[in-house]
Structure formats: structure tokens, C-alpha cells
Structure 1
Amino acid sequence: MVDAQQVRFIIGVIGNVISFGLFAAPAKTFWRIFKKKSVEEFSYVPYVATVMNCMLWVFYGLPVVHKDSILVSTINGVGLVIELFYVGVYLLYCGQKKNARRNIVSFLALEVVAVVGIVLITLFAIKNEFAKQTFVGVICDVFNIAMYGAPSLAIAKVVKTKSVEYMPFLLSLVCFVNAAIWTSYALIYKIDYYVLASNGMGTLLALSQLIVYFMYYKSTPKEKKPSEVEISASGTDRV
């Protein structure tokens, strides 16, 4: 008979597969950027934010912070490599974006410093296991919710232009499924309140993005319907 712990593990594996698809989803956008040698109107913010998000969740899932959460670390480790590749491509073709290259490098440097600081505080200043989970988990949730909400930056443009050309439908859809899966994972066996909080919020945010997409899809000019542009932002929780 399958027990709750085994069910949780199976759902976690499914979550890893879906999360990998979510990390890989922007590949179509970056192929477009590569062909046009331009980042056009695509924003670097979601990708840079996801780098921070992945680093934090890799640390959260390690036994030194949270036991029985190695599946959280594995997928975010993979995601970190993928997101850094996206940022590298963006840096290569963002020449027409004023100050973009400088801003990206500055943000990445700050993220590394911040994560190193969080790791040092967790390992050497906090002794209680619950306190470690709370400290790292709350920070992870802040960035995770920001990552889930990043595609919502396109909503104002959609409403203003009555066009979903830069509204990432596929990203929002996969984010919705991903968040729902990880919400289920967090509720089974031992409730993980930090995975639950951000993914529960992520489910609602992704759902709102899908609603806006369907509201304005029909009003998008035919030549601008997102056949080539399905992804304009990287979204994550990958956890």
C-alpha cells in the first residue's frame, strides 16, 4: 500500500518534470532573440529574479535547512543553470537597451552577495532547526511570489494595447499547473508551510494572467497573435 510519504515523493517528481518544462519554456523567446539579434520589448527582470529564486530554493531544500526536501534542491539547481544561460543570451543582445547590461550585472552581483549572507547567517548565527527553516523559507516565499507575479508586468501593456502579443500564455498556463502541483506536494505527509504559501499565491497569480489573456486574445491583430511569441518571461516557482 502506498503511504503519504511515497505519494508526496511521486508528486514531487511530477513537480520536477513540470518545473523543468517551465524553465525550458522561454527557449522559444530566446531563439527569436537570437535570430533577430535583439531583445525587442522583452524584459530581463523575470530571468534575473528567477536566478535569485533558484539559488534560495536550492539552499532551502538542503538537509542543513529542511530535511526530506531534496527534490526542491534538484530542480532548482537545474533551473539555475538554465536561467543563467538565458541571462547570458540577453546580455549578448541587449545593446539597444539603455543601461540594461549594467543593471543586469549589478543585480546579479547583489543577488550573489545576498545569498552568501543568507547562507552564512543560517549556518553560523541560527542554531534552531525551525528558526532556520523560517528564516530561509520566508525569504524564499518573497522571491517566489515575485517570480510568479513577474509575467503580470505584461498585464498593463495588454490592457493598454488590447493585444496579447507580449502576454506569455504558455508560461502562465504552465505556471498555473506547476504551482498547483507544488501546492499539493506541500500539503501531503508533512505540511511545508513555506512551499505552500508561495505556490498557493502563485496559483492565484497565474490564474489571473490566464483570465486577462483570454479577455484580450480576440482583440489582438492577427499578425500579432502570439504564434512565435508564446513566452516573454520566465516565471518559477519551480518550487
Structure 2
Amino acid sequence: MTSDSFAHLTLAFGLLGNAVSFMVFLSPLPTFYKVYKKKSTEGFQSVPYVVGLFSAMLWIYYALLKANAMLLITINSVGCFIQTFYICFFLFYAPKKARIESLKLITMMIVVGFGLIVVLTQFFATGVTRVTIVGWICLVFALCVFIAPLGVLRQVIKTKSVEYMPILLSAALTLNAITWFFYGLLLRDFNIAIPNVLGITFGVLQMILYFVYKNKKPIISDEKVSELKSIETVLEQPKISGKKDQEIIDVVKLSAALVCSIPTVAKINENNEVVDDHMAEKAAAHVPNHTIEVGA
């Protein structure tokens, strides 16, 4: 293969990675549309979006230290803008407690965490050493992000249900990992390539589990069984005559319906989304958050 062909192939994978990553960044939009309609974040969490912003900023810093990673800068710049929009949107509709917790997380990760990385590497490292240190930080952080889907895989096996693991999102994330793996491999940049090996592995496992369990009967947890029994007990209580009694029964039925219909998003992903990141307090003990897939 000639050097020109090699460069064209690298560019092709980089552009494809940009396109797929852009679609993944937009995947939480339905979640935020629900927030807009309800004018409340309810059980949503800002963690996936803050982590996504931190990851994008980290990869931009790494790409700026290198001379041939412009496509990393382009997609992660878009990622920074989109994640910032999500965070601002969340803060606008979040209740006071959730807003304060989000601001604390933003301060810790973006201001303190990223700020220390930049300051320490600028003042205590030079040249190739600086690039190597930042590259290792990106590598370790990306590995941690890619390990997150293990919780989703465990939940699928435990419940025999793929309710919280959409096949289209899993396929998109797998394709995203494949494109960035080959982009990093062609650049001979293993800080980009190695984390995406895990991304490919977990993505393939998710799709395999989806086809294994998609027609299986889900296992209902003990907590949900107890909850359903308690609802049945309330509904079976003697009725008091009058219109008011019927209203009470209607309220109980409505509450039961809401318990079963509150949407949750897996964190790989965010069902991150990102899958992106909405779960009810009752479901939080059974369903892990969605992982945010980084652009590299």
C-alpha cells in the first residue's frame, strides 16, 4: 500500500468515525424532549453528560499536543458543544437538589480535574513526555468508560430481559468503536486504538445477548413482586360507596400504571443513550446508568 493510499484510508476512517460519533452524541435528544414536555428532569441524572464533556475536553487537549489528529479535534469540539447544551438544559429544568449536585460534579471534574491535568502537564512535563502522560490519562479514562457496559450485560443475564439494551444503539456504538480503532491503528496511536478494542468486545457481546434473550420471558424481581402484591391488596379492599371511593380506586390504578411505565435509560449508556441517563428511584437498584461513548 502506498503512502497516499494509507493516508486516504486513515482519512476515510476518521471521517466515518466523526459521522457515527455525531449520531451517538445526538442519541439523548428524545430524553431531553421528554424533559422539555414535562418541564422537569424527574429521575434523570447529569453524570453521563458531565463525564462526556470531560472526555471530549480531554481528547481535544491530547489532539492539540499531537500534530496529526485534527479529526479528533473536530468531533470532540462538536461533542463539547452538545454535552454543554445537555448540561445547561438539565440545570434549567432540574430541582434545586439535583442542580446543586450537578454543579458540584461539574466543579470537581471540569474545573478541578481537567484544570489540574492541564496545569500539571504544562508546568512539569515537556515535549514527548507531555504527550505520553496525557495519552495515558486518555487511555485509562476511556478504558473506565468502556468497562461501564459490564453492568448492563450483568443486568440482561440476571433478568433475561433486553428492555434496557436497545439493539440499534448497541450496533451504533460498536460501529463507532470499530471506526476509531482502525483510525488509531492506522495512525499508530495506541492510546486511541486500545480502548476501542474493549468497545468492540462489549458491543459484540451486547448484540449477542440481545439475540439470545430477546424472546425470553423476563424474570420479575422479588421487589417488583412484592410491589404488585401490595397494589393488588389495595385494589381488593372493600369499596366505600359514593363517587369519592371510585376516585380513590382510580388514583391507585393510575399510580400502579405510573410505576410500570416510568422510562429508564441504560448507561453504556444513556440508553446514553449515550444512551444517554433517566431512571426512576425504584428502578435504580436494578438498572445501571448508560455509558457515554467518547468520540475516540
Q: Which moved more, 1:77-86 or 1:207-216?
A: 207-216
Q: Distance in 2 between matches of 1:38 and 1:144?
A: 31
Aligned mates of 1:229, 1:128 — CA distance in 2: 42
Q: Tell me if structure 1 keeps the 8 A contact 2:164–2:264.
A: no
* Aligned CA distance change for structure 1 residues 85 and 30 (closer, same or farther; 3 Å): same
Q: Match of 2:162, SS?
A: coil
Q: Distance in 2 between matches of 1:56 and 1:180?
A: 21
1:60 counterpart residue number = 62
* Structure 2 Cα separation of the partners of residues 42 and 211 of structure 1: 28
Change (3 A) 1:155 1:89: farther
Name the residue aligned to 2:29.
27
Shift >6 Å, 4+ stretches? 227-230
Conserved in 2, the CA contact under 8 Å of 1:91 and 1:101? yes
Q: Aligned with 1:61: secondary structure?
A: helix
State the SS of the aligned residue for 1:74: helix
Which residue of structure 1 aligns with residue 204 of structure 2?
Answer: 207
**1:19-54 residue CA offsets vs partner (Å, 9 max, x unmatched):** 111111121222233223444555433222111100
Using the TM superposition, give the Cα deviation of residue 138 of structure 1 relative to its aligned residue in structure 2, in angstroms: 1.2
Q: Which residue of structure 1 aligns with residue 114 of structure 2?
A: 115
CA change 1:87–1:169 in 2 (3 A) is: farther
RMSD: 3.0
Q: 1:207 to 1:118 in 2, by over 3 A?
A: same
Asked whether 1:13 is paired with 2:15, we answer yes
Displacement of 1:78: 0.5
What does 1:95-106 correspond to in 2, within 5 Å?
95=95, 99-106=97-104
Amino acid at match of 2:168: L
Q: Return the letter of the residue paired with 1:215.
A: V
1:166 is the counterpart of 2:164: yes
In structure 2, stretches of 5+ residues that fail to align are 219-259, 275-291
Greater RCO (Cα-Cα under 8 Å, separation 6 or more): 1
Cα deviations across residues 67-117 of structure 1 (Å, max 9, x unaligned)?
10111111101101111222233334443xx95333321111112221122
> Which residue is equivalent to 1:194?
191
- Give the share of equivalent positions with the same residue, in percent: 35
Q: Which residue of 2 aligns with 1:237?
A: 294
Unaligned runs of 5+ residues in structure 1 are none
Separation of aligned partners in 2, 1:87 and 1:106? 13
**Among candidates 132, 135, 140, match of residue 133 of structure 2:** 135
Does residue 84 of structure 1 match 2:84?
yes
The separation in 2 between residues aligned to 1:150 and 1:170, in whole angstroms, is: 18
Residue correspondences, number: 231
Give the CA deviation at 1:161. Answer: 4.3
